[in-house]
Amino acid sequence: MKKGVYLDNNATTPLRCEVIAALQKGLTAFGNPSSVYAVGQEARFALDEARRQVADMCNVRSEQVVFTSGGTESNNMALRGAAGQGAIVTVLTEHPSVLKTALHLKEQGQNVVCLHVDNNGLFSLDVLEELLRDDHVKLVSTMWVNNETGVVNPLADIAALCKRYEVLLHVDAVQAAGKMKIDFPEMGADMLSLSAHKLGGPKGVGALILRNEVTMDPLLTGGSQEKNRRAGTENLMGIIGMGAAAKVCQTSLETETAKYQACKEALEQGLVALPFDIKIVGQYAPRVDSTTCFITSGLDAEAAVMALDMEGFAVSRGSACSSGRSEPSHVLTAMGYSESESKTALRVSFGWQTEVEDVKDFVQAFTRVAERMLKKSA
């Protein structure tokens, strides 16, 4: 039995060694970055350096980076900043921080359209274009990589449509950062959300990347921090950690994505060879290599997660935001899976620390767990 193999990196990631070192060094920068004396300016220097590191990862200027408390706040800023100016278009498989925010705005009178997806988790670009052609849409908000399935949306095509009809595009890149190259000017987005703890950084900090021409009312008002776009004394330690994580992600992207590909091949080849009825979710759609969601007929996923934990492997039923609840995944049901199928789904997601041998060991552990559980339920 192997202990301590963490395979739920879409929920959160362990701190990278470089991040820990940066946080330890940053502990002495205790001043308020808005203060003009030496201690404050030391903190300001650390803040500016981290901002440059995040900006470099996204190929933008430092002033385009707005630090937030995480991906949820970044997504809320993007959607609520566009509210009341025209319709908002999003997708039924979005993260709850987008989908629930959009539906809350709809309850307040905002015109919101939620696009349906096919059984691969992709929405129709023709339907999107039909909506944009009507000239009443202000914002399209979609994720780059789905947090539950790893399905990758065709951002270039989506951005081209938004540009053609002069509609703002917000991209939730929380699950893409660190796994795909981010070139914000090239991708054609107007806003992009990031979260540090999905990069090997600390929790409680994220960023919203803005095209220079984009303006919006801030969610938080008060001081003039973040160029009047997000009031409140900056979470300096979190920001230092995010900057360090962004720097590592930029330099290690090629080697880590190659490792993810090897891990994915080992996992999925191992799964489909098992004598169980297993389906890879989104198998025929473009997917990021770090995520595999699979359905095993007759398996109780919640019980399987606990059994696998006893075997020493941490995996998820789906999104961490819905863990501990017995409701089916809204992503899987939107893709056409039944509630009973959804409740058999497991998600395995790799991180910077994952090795191929970990994945092979997981397949063996899953085999033991599935054999016991399916035999008992037969």
- What letters, b where the CB count within 10 A reaches 16 and e where it falls short, cover 285-314? bebbbbbbbbbbeebbbbebbebbeebebb
In the numeric block, the tokens 């944009």 are attached to: 132
Query: What is the DSSP code string of 78-147?
Result: HHHHHTTSSEEEEETTS-HHHHHHHHHHHHTT--EEEE---TTS---HHHHHHHHHTS-EEEEEEESB-T
d(CA 297, CA 271) in angstroms, rounded, equals: 13
How does DSSP classify residue 146?
-
d(CA 49, CA 192) in angstroms, rounded, equals: 20
d(CA 65, CA 274) in angstroms, rounded, equals: 46
How does DSSP classify residue 153?
P
E strand or H helix that includes residue 23: helix 17-26
- Residue 329, CB half-sphere, CA atoms under 13 Å: how many? 33
* 301 closest CA partner among 288, 311, 316: 316
Q: How many residues does the chain have?
A: 378
CA angle at residue 41 from 40 to 47, to 5 degrees? 95
d(CA 4, CA 358) in angstroms, rounded, equals: 10
**Annotated active-site residue in 162, 263, 293, 321:** 321
CA–CA distances in Å: residue 32 to residues 35, 36, 149, 308: 6, 9, 41, 45
Residue 318 tokens read as 């789906």
d(CA 146, CA 148) in angstroms, rounded, equals: 6
d(CA 19, CA 13) in angstroms, rounded, equals: 12
d(CA 140, CA 128) in angstroms, rounded, equals: 9
Contact status, residue 205 vs residue 238, Cβ threshold 8 Å: yes
**Residue 293 designated active-site:** no
**Catalytic residue set:** 321
